[in-house]
Chains A and B, each alone.
Chain A
Amino acid sequence: MSDSYEVPISIKMKRIGELIVQDKRLDGRGLLDYREIKVETGMIEKANGSALVSLGNTKILTGVKVETGTPFPDTPEEGVLTVNAELVPLASPSFEAGPPREESIELARVVDRGIRESKALDSKKLCIVPGKLVFIVFVDIYVLDHDGNLFDASALASMLALTTAKMREFEVKDGAIVYKDGFVPLPINNHAFEVTMAKIGDKLIVDPSLEEESAVDTQITIAVDDEGNICATQKSKIGVFKPTEIVEAVKIAQTKAAEIREKVLGGL
């Protein structure tokens, strides 16, 4: 189980709780402050798109690969989005090699939900021959350094890798795909940014660090699109929220997602 992997130092956990009551955090941040966000894109040349996101000490590398394949029977005219997350053993003493566990599956599925439901990727434009051939967009999340809040960092890295990805220009001739020389961006219509809030006592904090994650009661991740709509939610961890706290979390997520959007998309 996830909470037995990281050994929390109980004295620190106590201190985190005491500080939060005074609206303070161990690393000096305000309750609703993110750690420093650093982004870099396009460093993996063999990938169609890539992004390295640092959220404080958390580091996530996401690579996008575009391949062709057959569509799902129920969506013959749409391309396919596949999100996978690897908790690579070099990222934390608690990560082990082997088949994906529920933590990495949850991470991938929550990131997937934000991208999919916001319709960030225009899957209709990824159709080559209806029912036969479509583009499959693989988003592979690689956790390189785990210092908490993998959801937001992974969602951001994935969104940026997709936004900056380039695919070969193509045309369809006699029901087959013919590649041209140039490159075009992926069809991106919208962006989803995920904001994770943790609850300690009756306070909500944004972007919990690993130390804070060991002290929190529970947490919620909310994905917000360009229009400020909510496009995915996941409560994670044991623990409970009051309905009023959820409403508050939605508002915080809208504000914070807008801030992240401005910061990262402005620089591209």
Chain B
Amino acid sequence: MSKTKSEKLINEKGLRVDGRKFDELRPIKIEVGTLERANGSAYIEWGKNKILAAVYGPREVHPRHLALPDRTLFRCRYHMAPFSTEERKNPAPSRREIELSKVIREAVEPSIFTELFPRTGIDVFIEVLESEGGTRCAGITATSLALADAGIPLKDLIVACAAGKVDGQIVLDLDEVEDQKGQADLPVAISLRTGEITLLQMDGIMSAEEYEKALNLAIEGCGRVHEMQREALKKKYAMEEEGAEKEGEDEVTSE
């Protein structure tokens, strides 16, 4: 983040490098149940990000001594394919991937009724096939759908989206260029039903006022991604007459 700010990332018309407005998401496409063998899976395209999430479990835990007597052992592996980045990424897990695996696990686990499956394990595998900034948010969004697809009882779908500061402005959903050259990035994951934030990270520099503004914008973005999450689930699972339960969805952004 924030190497130099010589290039302009927002033009005179207030449009960003890729032509978006400050509060506009990149195009998002979500598919549930993409993989055959996994118990649950989801595929998300978020801008140029292409990410698969697969869920295995509840199943026996290996190694066995890790099993917990009162709840399921929830594990998460976030991994980037060697060809997903500009320069080839070494396939061995980097420190960044290990940290992201941890925070993603902690972001998603609060939504799972872990106590329903004692002595078992649920494993999530997130593979970033192509990356363009914001992979942790896209990965979390897909993971929650993959868990739902696996039939694991959830308190809510967890949805994630980032906001940040670019050219002094608070903007939604930073892409790779904005992430690298902008001033701050604030990814947020939330359970919208309860309004509870399950992931919050930030790097960059913002004042307290900007921070609050970015937090609120990210949550607003989460709301829009959540609609797409629900649509994707419905597309796979809803019965024919699904129109009945549409309550007040005034916009379903893009495909």
Measuring CB to CB, which residues of chain A are less than 8 angstroms from any residue of chain B?
1, 4, 74-75, 100, 102, 105-106, 108-109, 113, 116-118, 220, 225, 228-243, 246-247, 250-251, 254
Whether A113 contacts B203 by the Cβ 8 Å rule is yes
Q: Sample 15 A-B pairs with CB under 8 A, ordered by A number.
A: A75-B3, A105-B95, A109-B95, A117-B184, A230-B205, A230-B206, A230-B207, A230-B208, A232-B202, A235-B106, A235-B197, A237-B106, A240-B194, A243-B195, A243-B197
Shortest 8 CB-CB contacts between residues of A and residues of B: A240-B196, A233-B202, A235-B200, A102-B102, A241-B197, A105-B95, A238-B106, A113-B203
A-side contacts of B216, CB under 8 Å? 243
Q: Which positions 181-228 of chain B face chain A at CB distance < 8 Å?
A: 184, 186, 191, 194-208, 211-212, 215-216, 219
Docked pose: A237 CA to B110 CA in angstroms: 10
B205 and A225 contacting across the interface, CB-CB below 8 Å:
yes
B199 and A239 form a contact (CB under 8 A): no
| Contact of A233 with B200 in the complex, beta carbons under 8 Å | yes
Using A117-B2, A236-B106 as known contacts, say yes or no to A228 and B208 having CB atoms under 8 A apart. Answer: yes
From residue A242, how far is it (CB to closest CB) to chain B in Å?
Answer: 6
Closest to A224 in B: B208
| B186 engages A240 (CB within 8 Å) | no
Contact A102 to B99, CB < 8 A, known contacts A230-B211, A238-B109, A243-B215: yes
- Do B191 and A240 touch (CB < 8 A)? yes
B37 within 8 A of A: no
Docked Cα-Cα span, A236 to B203, in Å, equals: 15
Other than the given A220-B200, A242-B196, 5 more pairs (CB < 8 A) read: A105-B95, A229-B205, A229-B207, A230-B205, A234-B201
Contacts of B208 in A (CB 8 A): 228, 230, 250-251, 254
Q: Is the CB–CB distance between B197 and A247 below 8 Å?
A: no
The verdict on A246 contacting B206 (CB below 8 Å), with A102-B102, A117-B1, A240-B110 known, is no
Q: Does B101 contact A (CB under 8 A)?
A: yes
Nearest-neighbour CB distance to chain A for B243, whole angstroms, equals 32
Residues of chain B with a CB closer than 8 A to A220's CB: 200
A238 to B196 alpha-carbon distance, docked (Å): 12
B167 to chain A, nearest CB (A): 17
Chain B 1-21, CB-CB to A under 8 Å as 1, else 0, gives 111000000000000000000
